[in-house]
Amino acid sequence: MSKEFSTAAVIGAGTIGLSWTALFAGHGMDVWVSDPRPDLAEAVKTALAEFGSHLAKQGFDVEGLEDRVHLAGDVAEAVRHADIVQENGPEDVEFKKDLFATLVREAPSHALLLSSSSAIPSTAFTGDLEDASRVLIGHPFNPPHIMPLVEVVPGERTSEESVTQAVEFYRFVGRVPVVERKEMPGFVGNRLQNALNREAIYLVEQGVVTPEDVDAVITNSLGLRWATVGPFLGSHLGGGPGGYRHMAEHIGKGMKQMWAGLGQPKGDADETEMLIQAVEKAYGSSTYSELSETRDRKQLAILSVLDEITTNTDKEN
Ligand SMILES: NC(=O)c1ccc[n+]([C@@H]2O[C@H](COP(=O)([O-])OP(=O)(O)OC[C@H]3O[C@@H](n4cnc5c(N)ncnc54)[C@H](O)[C@@H]3O)[C@@H](O)[C@H]2O)c1
């Protein structure tokens, strides 16, 4: 275990914080958790049991996982010995302003202060801080103990050293960090997701397909492809031996004409209600646990096969 990253503080133990807790403890770290929720002890226990089994399937040593996780009475206690702090509280700029003022004051001076925020850039909540050099976004995809990507997004006053350390830290816990050099609203992953979701909603709104049909289109084509190659390498291969140049100069021309006709859904309350009812009709007969367990099982299986192929390819080369 790295000496530099031996103790973590997880602030906010909801969907994301509980998953980080298991991941960090699964990498041998001591983890201090702070959340005012009255059922904190029970929530942590349940999460460690469930997520611990996922980590074991990924080959991590989960022996003594619970012994490394500690409940803190408040934020100050949680961060007292932290090498890194991962914040996962409500997505609210005022909350994050107050909290990060406390973190800067209470955490050791070497501690990295990371926020899981999906949409609020760190520059928006660090303006009042005297020193914002250690604060930056480490945005995961749900659930972070399974999904490898972490978007590392420095704010205007984040130091380059903190960016390097954040990348090292997320690699240490087995993630794949990608540094993003501008604080775009929604960062990169959610912008891409929303571009696709906007078109998916439009196609349902227009009566072209149902939500289930859209899901079948994605999981049987683009989803499979994107687990192996991203859109650029996919296009490079789609162009055949002529590569991306052939794709861009030939098929790409027709695709560009399609951009102008992409849909703009209404986004009003009636449409939202129509979508809710359509999704509930499609999936409402299964419980959240049934659906999420199936999702996690499939994602772990994909990761395991990809990992095996990468290891074998590395050995061959
Ligand atoms: N859910 C996702 O898919 C997802 C994905 C990536 C990032 N995020 C981001 O992660 C953060 C947390 O999201 P979530 O989905 O886990 O939310 P959540 O509502 O499940 O959890 C938030 C937790 O913060 C706790 N909290 C409230 N006040 C607090 C305080 N003063 N100190 C400590 N904890 C406090 C709440 O009790 C709650 O348990 C948000 O910033 C969100 O944008 C969410």
**134 CA from centroid of ligand 1 (Å):** 21
**11 CA from centroid of ligand 1 (Å):** 9
What are the beta bridge partners of residue 150? Answer: 140, 177
Give the pLDDT confidence score for residue 58 in this predicted structure.
86
- Asked whether residue 1 carries a pLDDT value surpassing 80, the answer given is no
Residue 240 makes CB contacts below 8 A (sequence gap 6+) with 246
Residue whose Cα lies nearest atom 38 of ligand 1: it is 14
Give me the chain's average pLDDT, please.
94
Do 142 and 275 sit in the same domain of this protein?
no
- Top-confidence residue, 152 or 59: 152
Do 159 and 15 sit in the same domain of this protein?
yes
Ligand 1 pocket, 13 CB below 6 A? yes
Q: Is residue 35 part of a domain?
A: yes
Q: Is residue 306 part of a domain?
A: no
Residue whose Cα lies nearest atom 17 of ligand 1: it is 14
- Asked whether residue 293 carries a pLDDT value surpassing 70, the answer given is yes
User: Model's pTM, two decimal places?
Assistant: 0.93
Ligand 1 pocket, 185 CB below 6 A? no
- Asked whether residue 2 carries a pLDDT value surpassing 80, the answer given is no
- Asked whether residue 126 carries a pLDDT value surpassing 70, the answer given is yes
- Top-confidence residue, 307 or 3: 307
Q: What digits encode the pLDDT tens for the residues 22-58?
A: 999 999 999 999 999 999 999 999 999 999 999 998 8
Pocket test of ligand 1: the residue of 98, 117, 118 to mutate, having most ligand atoms within 8 Å of its CB, is 118
Ligand 1 pocket, 120 CB below 6 A? no
What are the beta bridge partners of residue 153? Answer: 137
Last residue of a domain, one of 122, 156, 179: 179
Task: With cut-offs at 50, 70 and 90, classify the pLDDT of residue 3.
Answer: low
Burial (CB < 10 A; 0-12, 13-18, 19+), residue 205, is: middle
Do 136 and 235 sit in the same domain of this protein?
no
Last residue of a domain, one of 126, 161, 179: 179
Q: What digits encode the pLDDT tens for the residues 152-176?
A: 999 999 999 999 999 999 999 999 9
Q: Is residue 134 part of a domain?
A: yes
Structure tokens, 262: 């992409």
Do 194 and 159 sit in the same domain of this protein?
no
Question: Tell me, what amino acid is at 304?
Answer: S
The answer to whether 87 touches 100, Cβ cutoff 8 Å, is: yes
Residue whose Cα lies nearest atom 15 of ligand 1: it is 15
Q: How many structural domains is the chain composed of?
A: 2
Do 161 and 193 sit in the same domain of this protein?
no
Do 108 and 248 sit in the same domain of this protein?
no
Do 153 and 278 sit in the same domain of this protein?
no
Structure tokens, 16: 């994301």
Q: By C-alpha distance, which of 130, 139, 181 is closest to 160?
A: 181
Q: Is residue 250 part of a domain?
A: yes
Do 52 and 79 sit in the same domain of this protein?
yes
**221 CA from centroid of ligand 1 (Å):** 32
Q: What digits encode the pLDDT tens for the residues 236-258?
A: 999 999 999 999 998 877 888 88
Structure tokens, 120: 């609020």
Q: Is residue 296 part of a domain?
A: no
Residue whose Cα lies nearest atom 25 of ligand 1: it is 12
Dihedral angle, C-alpha 74, 80, 82, 85, nearest 10 °: 40
Q: Is residue 291 part of a domain?
A: no
**216 CA from centroid of ligand 1 (Å):** 30
Ligand 1 pocket, 34 CB below 6 A? yes
Do 231 and 194 sit in the same domain of this protein?
yes
Q: Is residue 292 part of a domain?
A: no
Last residue of a domain, one of 125, 159, 179: 179
**Mean pLDDT, residues 129-144:** 97
Domain, as residue range, for 124: 7-179
CATH code: domain of residue 215: 1.10.1040.10
Do 120 and 214 sit in the same domain of this protein?
no
**25 CA from centroid of ligand 1 (Å):** 19
Q: What digits encode the pLDDT tens for the residues 82-120?
A: 999 999 999 999 999 999 999 999 999 999 999 999 999
CATH code: domain of residue 14: 3.40.50.720
**316 CA from centroid of ligand 1 (Å):** 43
Q: Is residue 237 part of a domain?
A: yes
Residue whose Cα lies nearest atom 36 of ligand 1: it is 12
Ligand 1 pocket, 92 CB below 6 A? no
Do 153 and 67 sit in the same domain of this protein?
yes
C-alpha distance across the termini of the chain, in Å: 28
Residue whose Cα lies nearest atom 8 of ligand 1: it is 118
The number of the ligand 1 atom at minimal distance from the alpha carbon of 91 is 41
Pocket test of ligand 1: the residue of 11, 35, 77, 197 to mutate, having most ligand atoms within 8 Å of its CB, is 35
Do 172 and 251 sit in the same domain of this protein?
no
Residue positions annotated with a catalytic role: 151
